[in-house]
Structure 1
């Protein structure tokens, strides 16, 4: 034992000497080389062009600028000399790369390629950095940043500071550029970047849930910016609530550069290429996730967009924030279905900042069957609001897989949003026709929410014969957001039709439309939808003449997704004792989801004694009919829900609903997190929230304060659309 100890001590001594020798043998670190500190009154050998950088460095904050901080010494390069409207460049003399790192301080605008500092070798930009700000607010503080330039050591380079932006945050601040062998210690939250060859499907991004986005991520493919989003990248794996993802399949084999600001080193390490999204094995199995309503895999949704039937496929586009649970970063998400039941989510299609000038707000889609626009027969054409420009077009020649941004966007400029375009097939003597439109005897109509000095909030109507050039025709005051126009037969009599204007608040008017002007046939508006139902849209070009609608259900979720969509429902017009009214009923395809049905026999309902019907699921389509009789209320109880009909007030869960010959018919769709109640075959459609997954054991109905008569009680257990 003593001999082993002695041997161990000798080994430790020898090892210590070897370590000491290695340390002593390391060459001393080379001293830093100052490239520029901008402390002189002029730029010296640096060349300033344009008016953005003035004739010399700035003494800190310039006139009209927020307080600038974080620079070294008394001066810095600041392109705010004539405000954000000025442009120019500041270019260094040639320098030789002699150290591993190039470090600097940078701030101001975060507009890629427009407010940036570039390292150029052989006339090509090999590295670039921007400030941190693109939106109102923000800070003028410069932040430390660096490039690893080891691979360029010995080569000649120039540094160019660029300001070609003229809008908000259209300037750049730079100071204290240094060559160093020491990797700088960046702040915990700093700007970072990485480069890789795209050989995986996704770029996955760890997200930390916060009420407001504080950072930004940009993705460049072969130096072209393809994604830009405001977000909160998690600081570590422990603070990650869920993973967002960008689908990069279309860029395989190309070089990607990812730039993020206000991110920790540990958090940025989790931003990585991958063929799977962490946690996706649990997607659609969360206890709160609806099982027969479509929901996006992650992120926020609001309005359904671009709903269209094209070559046997139902397309649902939607307002999507793919990197956060609150509203923002408006993108067009995309899902398709062959049966309106089972949905497949596809990569997002229309992107903010890199495709549109601003965000991609709501709009519709149509099929240009006869090539009126010149993009080919059967082209799928999407109309949307580009918040940086106006009403714009993107078109797809491959069935919605990819979209081309129309080069002459916007096609309509006004103060408004949410265009919906339809084909008006009847012609109009006052609208000049040409080309395919003349041959077909019709024209295109756009209805769009508009704000006008005379009409205030209104629905504006435009016409076109080629989808590109639009003529303003008329205005319908009193409408707001996501307005659309469609024609429906009355009582299924196709020789007797009416036109309907329907807006985001789910209120509508019935009337006539001559291709240019909508004329209501009644005062005020009617209503069929109630509850948190908003910004709906109908599918254009639907087969069999059905008018099928879906709406945004403003019902929150704990994540990794937020908000919901209604179950698809068919709209019809019927004659009632109150006049012609709209009805909304769940599409008949729901019957295909039935796995087991239960029925209670017709019977009297004696006051307070429930009729019970056993079930074995919390996914239900319940149908009930009863005669109210002397009951004051009739209460239907479904797992986690109570639906009440008040006989005296004639209300269904506080929504007006008259009896028909003393009878009430109710259908309830009970899905996780959602409840939809349909009264009297669709006379009212009441949307609301529901419980997360629970053990469903029975459905019951009872008469309270009197007796009633049960005519029908069916409970159909439904299967999940997400089961393989």
Structure 2
């Protein structure tokens, strides 16, 4: 069981994952196996700032309630442990299997020359594997499996491509350039091609996803570390983008987003590092975003990914507030005192509304300008897609983060903040025009650390 006594500090997120102590950054090696979601993460076991890169490890049955386990990858003579991914080797292509479990393999960057023991070494790609379902790990004696291609090539994302019966890796090279490789066994790799992504670096992700509502139409999605993505096609040898690079999140704190392999029901679940948050006086530093489910949907602008919180958040629901048909015209609507300030809120704004609508939550201001069709928050502005119905808004609020989702998740903002006060009011106001809110549902949440 999790000892929750250390998880109630003033600025500790209550339903976003944080390391029990010290620094955390990129999510790594996300996989699901036998009812458990595994989350690995870049971790400094010895301090609150970046350094000594090690893979931390946590598990959850539901993506909400996490238990941190002992670290799994520690620095060695090849370097410190930079980011990577994980796969379940169902067909034992690696021949690592030793019992009833298929091998589970971590593919990671050994960052040479980042520690005294690795002085003079290059950045290379390596393997570690588990034969007991993901709880104990050993590094492959034949590491590295991919030699240095560019001086700081890193962050391998690997998937199984069934039609070609090959493992496919996408890897950050340098600048705005990434590469693709293939392998029959995760141990020997052949180059395929390179990919250019403007204004994008690090931590690529790559996966196939079906169009929502269609089981026989799918596309491939490639995502960069900043969440920008291409939608395209892949034949086992070449990924061909069919869109421009699309912004995946407009917030200031979304980075190194990765998705789960082998998630049940074909779900595509994404977690990001909420880079740049501040937690003064806390024994931990940095947090993960709340897990979101990605869907491929058709829009007036073409195919897009939608991104919404996973349904498992409902395990934290404790009290519901509901209001309907709220007219706003140069006036405001204030909710009653909200117990612990943990919120999952949603509303629908009638399409005939016009003007500017402002949400003020924990001192944070989100403005919807229905005339210009934009959302503004923390100095960032996002466009709204053409609307044919009500504008749907959803906001998650934790002690030090606010995640906004609009238009069924086609627009999202991932952001951190420091609260003005412990439990300030939640106010909705019309700054101009006439706003009609069709319905307004707010759930107060319990803490994931007390269940």
TM-score normalised according to structure 1 size = 0.57
In structure 2, the partner of 1:408 is 142
**Displacement after TM superposition at 1:695 (Å):** 4.7
Distance in 2 (CA, whole Å) between partners of 1:590 and 1:469 is 41
**Displacement after TM superposition at 1:490 (Å):** 1.4
SS, match of residue 339 in structure 2:
coil
SS, match of residue 363 in structure 1:
strand
In structure 1, the partner of 2:48 is 325
SS, match of residue 314 in structure 2:
helix
**Displacement after TM superposition at 1:603 (Å):** 2.9
SS, match of residue 544 in structure 1:
helix
**Displacement after TM superposition at 1:352 (Å):** 0.9
Distance in 2 (CA, whole Å) between partners of 1:474 and 1:676 is 36
Q: How does 1:270-289 map to 2 (within 5 A)?
A: 282-289=5-12
Is the Cα contact below 8 Å between 2:128 and 2:139 reproduced in 1?
yes
Distance in 1 (CA, whole Å) between partners of 2:46 and 2:190 is 38
Q: Within the alignment, does 1:461 sit opposite 2:172 as a pair?
A: no
In structure 2, the partner of 1:252 is none
Distance 1:622 1:286, change over 3 A: same
Is the Cα contact below 8 Å between 1:599 and 1:613 reproduced in 2?
no
Match of 1:715 among 439, 442, 450: 442
Deviations 1:158-204 (A, max 9, x none): xxxxxxxxxxxxxxxxxxxxxxxxxxxxxxxxxxxxxxxxxxxxxxx
In structure 1, the partner of 2:325 is 602
Is the Cα contact below 8 Å between 2:351 and 2:387 reproduced in 1?
no
Distance 1:660 1:288, change over 3 A: same
Distance 1:649 1:613, change over 3 A: farther
Match of 1:689 among 409, 416, 421: 416
SS, match of residue 180 in structure 2:
strand
Q: Within the alignment, does 1:373 sit opposite 2:107 as a pair?
A: no
**Displacement after TM superposition at 1:516 (Å):** 1.3
Distance in 2 (CA, whole Å) between partners of 1:604 and 1:527 is 33
SS, match of residue 610 in structure 1:
strand
Q: Within the alignment, does 1:482 sit opposite 2:212 as a pair?
A: no
Match of 2:367 among 644, 648, 652: 644
Q: How does 1:134-213 map to 2 (within 5 A)?
A: none
Distance 1:600 1:583, change over 3 A: same
In structure 2, the partner of 1:578 is 301
**Displacement after TM superposition at 1:551 (Å):** 0.3
Q: How does 1:268-307 map to 2 (within 5 A)?
A: 282-307=5-30
**Displacement after TM superposition at 1:660 (Å):** 1.6
Distance in 1 (CA, whole Å) between partners of 2:354 and 2:52 is 52
Higher Cα radius of gyration = 1
Select the structure with the greater relative contact order (CA < 8 A; seq sep ≥ 6). Answer: 2
In structure 2, the partner of 1:501 is 222
Is the Cα contact below 8 Å between 2:334 and 2:425 reproduced in 1?
no
Is the Cα contact below 8 Å between 1:411 and 1:468 reproduced in 2?
yes
In structure 1, the partner of 2:160 is 423
Decide which moves more: 556-565 or 673-682: 556-565
Distance in 2 (CA, whole Å) between partners of 1:281 and 1:720 is 10
Is the Cα contact below 8 Å between 1:319 and 1:330 reproduced in 2?
yes
**Displacement after TM superposition at 1:605 (Å):** 1.7
Distance in 2 (CA, whole Å) between partners of 1:661 and 1:477 is 35
Deviations 1:597-638 (A, max 9, x none): 001121322322435455333000010111264542111222
SS, match of residue 705 in structure 1:
strand
Q: What stretches of structure 1 of length at least 5 have no aligned partner?
A: 1-279, 428-441
Distance 1:676 1:609, change over 3 A: closer
**Displacement after TM superposition at 1:403 (Å):** 1.2
Deviations 1:297-339 (A, max 9, x none): 1111110000011122100000001111111110000000011
Q: How does 1:232-631 map to 2 (within 5 A)?
A: 282-353=5-76, 357-376=78-97, 378-388=102-112, 389=122, 390-413=124-147, 414-415=149-150, 416-427=153-164, 442-451=165-174, 457-478=176-197, 480-522=201-243, 524-531=244-251, 532-554=253-275, 555-558=277-280, 559-610=282-333, 612=335, 615-627=338-350, 629=352, 631=354
Deviations 1:522-562 (A, max 9, x none): 2x300121221001110011110000000000112222111
In structure 2, the partner of 1:94 is none
Deviations 1:39-58 (A, max 9, x none): xxxxxxxxxxxxxxxxxxxx
Distance 1:713 1:409, change over 3 A: same
- Residues matched between the structures, number: 424
SS, match of residue 309 in structure 1:
strand
TM-score normalised according to structure 2 size = 0.90
Distance in 2 (CA, whole Å) between partners of 1:344 and 1:631 is 46
Distance in 1 (CA, whole Å) between partners of 2:104 and 2:334 is 52
Deviations 1:647-706 (A, max 9, x none): 222111222223523632111100011110111110111011234595546533222212
Distance in 1 (CA, whole Å) between partners of 2:94 and 2:284 is 37
Decide which moves more: 473-482 or 373-382: 473-482
Is the Cα contact below 8 Å between 2:329 and 2:432 reproduced in 1?
no
SS, match of residue 185 in structure 2:
coil
